[in-house]
């Protein structure tokens, strides 16, 4: 089992380097007792980075995935190096911070955009996806094109007048009765999830999420919105990209 150390609170999303122990060595991968590497999930791509250990060359992490309760850190072409490692060995992880911070900015922007879309149109988000410097939000129906400009204004405002972001663990029964459960209600939570990890953007949005987020909407930076994409179902896809994909980033 791997402890998902990035999950515990919002500051944990800013940890870029950490120590952990190897608990298993499946072919081409390492399982650690704890990790700050984000494994693919919830529309957020996996982190990249390196794992270092005494007596070997740094291992380049090429993918991170969940496998039951374990997290697999796949490494590039490192079979000979991996043979130097043993279960119980200590490794140092270093996360590719530019990539991770882009995902954090996009993820918080996506939550806020989904909340504003719901507030302005009643449309819920069916699926959200982050990739590279951009994000897409697939809605449950067609978004009137004239709403795009006010939505852009909403996002510009929340960057110019930042709102704090926080993470809370909420008992399941309390969450199910929460009025904010409506906006995210299209994506059912598995019944065993209790408590629910909710990401809160000040008074603007509350949404269950296992992803990593920035601590203030001011950190999102400038976004460029793309034209609405009509999906074959008749619903709309909203898309935006970060204008400055390599901003100055706050330290942990
Ligand atoms: Zn999320």
- Residue 138 DSSP class: E
Q: How far is the CA of 139 from the centre of ligand 1 (A)?
A: 15
46-88 residue pLDDT tens:
999 999 999 889 999 999 999 999 999 999 987 788 888 999 9
Written as six digits, the tokens of 67 are: 């496998």
pLDDT of residue 245: 63
* Averaged pLDDT, 91-101: 97
CATH number, domain 100-242: 3.30.980.10
Is pLDDT of 166 > 70? yes
The ranges assigned to domains in the chain are 3-95, 100-242
CA dist., res. 11 & res. 135, Å (int):
23
Specify whether the CB–CB gap between 126 and 117 falls below 8 A: no
Q: How far is the CA of 251 from the centre of ligand 1 (A)?
A: 22
CA dist., res. 4 & res. 21, Å (int):
13
193-245 residue pLDDT tens:
999 999 999 989 999 999 999 999 999 999 999 999 999 999 999 999 999 86
Q: How far is the CA of 10 from the centre of ligand 1 (A)?
A: 13
User: Sheet containing 236-242: which strands, arranged edge to edge?
Assistant: 125-131, 134-139, 236-242, 223-230
Q: How far is the CA of 3 from the centre of ligand 1 (A)?
A: 19
Q: Does domain 3-95 have CATH number 3.30.70.100?
A: no
Written as six digits, the tokens of 36 are: 């700050």
Q: How far is the CA of 91 from the centre of ligand 1 (A)?
A: 29
**pLDDT above 70 as % of the chain:** 96
User: Sheet containing 165-170: which strands, arranged edge to edge?
Assistant: 165-170, 196-201, 205-208
Q: How far is the CA of 135 from the centre of ligand 1 (A)?
A: 12
Q: Quickly count helices (H) and strands (E) in the chain.
A: 4, 15
> Out of 54-68, 131-145, 169-183, 228-242, which region has the weakest mean confidence (pLDDT)?
169-183
């Amino acid at each position: 089992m791997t402890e998902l150390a990035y999950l515990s609170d919002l500051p944990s999303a800013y940890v870029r380097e950490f120590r952990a122990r190897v608990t298993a060595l499946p072919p081409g991968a390492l399982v650690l007792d704890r990790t700050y590497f984000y494994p693919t999930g919830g529309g957020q791509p996996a982190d990249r980075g390196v794992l270092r250990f005494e007596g070997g060359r740094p291992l380049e992490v090429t993918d991170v995935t969940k496998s039951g309760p374990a997290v697999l850190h796949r490494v590039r072409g490192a079979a000979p190096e991996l043979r130097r490692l043993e279960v119980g060995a200590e490794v140092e992880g270093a996360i590719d911070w530019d990539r991770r911070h882009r995902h954090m900015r996009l993820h918080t922007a996506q939550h806020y955009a989904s909340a504003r879309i719901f507030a302005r149109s009643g449309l819920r988000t069916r699926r959200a996806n982050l990739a590279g410097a951009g994000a897409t939000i697939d809605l449950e129906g067609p978004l009137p094109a004239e709403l795009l400009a006010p939505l852009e204004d909403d996002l510009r405002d929340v960057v110019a007048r930042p709102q704090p972001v926080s993470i809370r663990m909420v008992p399941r029964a309390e969450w199910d009765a929460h009025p904010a459960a409506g906006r995210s209600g299209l994506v059912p939570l598995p019944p065993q999830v209790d408590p629910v990890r909710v990401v809160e953007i000040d008074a603007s949005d509350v949404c269950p999420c296992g992803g990593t987020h920035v601590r203030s909407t001011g950190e999102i930076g400038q976004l460029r919105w793309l034209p609405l994409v009509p999906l074959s179902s008749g619903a709309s896809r909203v898309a935006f990209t970060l204008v400055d994909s390599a901003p100055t980033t706050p330290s942990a």
